[in-house]
Amino acid sequence: MCTLKGLDITALVLVIIGAINWGLIGFFRFDLVSSLFGTGTAFTRIIFALVGIAGLYSLSFLGRDRDRDRDRTEVK
């Protein structure tokens, strides 16, 4: 069974927020983050940067799944 650490959950939440924001931009031309925190403010840029870092960190989830599957097949 896969267990998620606190950092994994935080990264996943940020990636989901980013995906929702990009969906809103793509479908409705509405930037939720900028409308909540201001366009081009330092805080908005920090949020976008954190979402980007979380997305890069989330790429490691793919490698972990492959390692877990490989370990399962080697045990048998």
Q: Domain coordinates of the chain in residue numbers?
A: 6-75
* pLDDT over 80 at 73, yes or no: no
In which region does residue 39 sit, left (phi positive, over 0), alpha (psi from -120 to 50) or beta (all else)?
Answer: beta
For residue 57, which of 18, 2, 1 has the smallest C-alpha distance? 18
Which one-letter DSSP state was computed for residue 38?
-
Q: Give tens-digit pLDDT for 12-54.
A: 999 999 999 999 999 999 999 999 999 999 999 999 999 999 9
Distances (CA, A) of 12 to 32, 40, 52: 18, 24, 11
Q: For 4, phi and psi rounded to 5 degrees?
A: -100, 135
Give the pLDDT band of residue 64 (cuts 50, 70, 90). confident
